[in-house]
Amino acid sequence: MNFTPTFEDCIQSLEKTIKSGGSSSQKPNDGSLCTVSFQDVNCQFDTSYLSNKTLTFTIGDACTLGDRIVDYCVRNLTIEESAVFSINSLSSSFTAQLQDCEFLPYSHLMTPEDKYALAQRWKERGVTLFKAGAVEQAFCMFRKSLQYTKLVKLGESEEDITDLAVNLYNNLAQCHLQCLNYDSVVPMCTKSLMVMPNVKAYYRRALAFIESGDYENAEQDLLECLKLDPKNKMAQVKLDLVLSLDQDNRESYKETIKRMFK
């Protein structure tokens, strides 16, 4: 069986060999717009877009394994510095030089507006990826967005931050639903509901409960969902299903007990 290293495996096996030094000590971080030239690309992951090219991209946008590795490497460069990066766990290597960078402050020095803008950027990127069927990549972007949403101190934009947090928890729950990770759906929806009661979180948590056979909790969530949105047809259909499943289970249980004591 082929073994695919995780991102953490790749980073632990990463080696950097400096070819030429940089002109400063500052390095790119989340949100920094970088112009990077790549040479001598020899990688086992998809890097055809890198070969002998100069690219401009935003740090933090990466979501595939290969892109995240490249992102991590660029974060370790200073302006004009050139280095060979070897990822031993993937038998891969490339040379990168950071030619230019529009640096953003580190997260603890960012303004609330900058943090919120990055959170929105990655949320929207996640939505685009999800609609394209790239669920795991979308999950990565939603998680990144949530990290920055949590960093924004509540103030005049409290309503916007609350709405964004709720949407992100719900989006993460939907990604888990798509991947059939029902045990992970429940905590995401619960966190969403802790921020604010909402239809999507009740409904998606109910779906996860149904799949795991927890019809009692599914029924309660669907009832809460219908309290918030009495005309929600999907919730009503699922509630009718749950009620019928409950009845079936009760009848099945009664028959089992009868057979046991015959």
DSSP state, 106? -
247 or 191: which leads in pLDDT: 191
212 in the same domain as 125: yes
Residue 138 sits in a domain whose CATH number is 1.25.40.10
Residue 258 confidence (pLDDT): 53
Rounded percentage of the chain residues whose pLDDT exceeds 70: 89
Dihedral, CA atoms, 218, 219, 220, 222, nearest 10 degrees?
80
Residue 37 tokens, joined: 């030239």
128 in the same domain as 221: yes
Residue 229 confidence (pLDDT): 96
User: Which residue blocks in 152-232 are alpha helix, DSSP H?
Assistant: 158-178, 182-195, 199-211, 215-228
Report the greatest alpha carbon distance in the chain: 87
249 in the same domain as 125: yes
219 in the same domain as 231: yes
Domain of residue 54 covers 7-104
SS3 242: helix
CA distances from 239 to 185, 188, 211, 221 (A): 19, 21, 13, 9
Residue 227 tokens, joined: 């309290």
Is residue 58 a part of any domain in this protein?
Answer: yes
248 in the same domain as 132: yes
On average, the pLDDT of the chain sits at 89
Is residue 2 a part of any domain in this protein?
Answer: no
125 in the same domain as 34: no
91 in the same domain as 127: no
Binned at pLDDT 50, 70 and 90, residue 52 comes out as confident
Residue 262 confidence (pLDDT): 54
142 in the same domain as 236: yes
Query: 182-195 and 158-178 are packed helices; what angle lies between their axes, rounded to 10 degrees?
Result: 170
162 in the same domain as 58: no
Is residue 249 a part of any domain in this protein?
Answer: yes
- Report, as an integer, the average pLDDT of 177-189: 96
> Distance between CA atoms of 196 and 203, rounded to whole angstroms?
14
> Distance between CA atoms of 30 and 89, rounded to whole angstroms?
25
Number of structural domains (the chain) is 2
Is residue 1 a part of any domain in this protein?
Answer: no
172 in the same domain as 254: yes
Please name the helix (run of DSSP H) or strand (run of DSSP E) that holds residue 14, with its range, or none: strand 14-20
Burial class (CB in 10 A: 0-12, 13-18, 19+), 171: buried
Is residue 43 a part of any domain in this protein?
Answer: yes
Q: What is the pLDDT of residues 90-122, one digit of tens each?
A: 899 999 999 999 999 988 888 888 999 999 999
Q: Which of 52, 70, 104 is the last residue of a domain?
A: 104
CA distances from 155 to 108, 112, 146, 160, 195 (A): 17, 9, 17, 10, 16
Q: What is the pLDDT of residues 3-25, one digit of tens each?
A: 567 889 999 999 999 999 998 89
Residue 82 sits in a domain whose CATH number is 3.10.50.40
Q: Which of 71, 86, 104 is the last residue of a domain?
A: 104
Of 88, 82, 93, residue with least CA distance to 18: 82
Q: Which of 51, 69, 104 is the last residue of a domain?
A: 104
171 in the same domain as 50: no
121 in the same domain as 216: yes
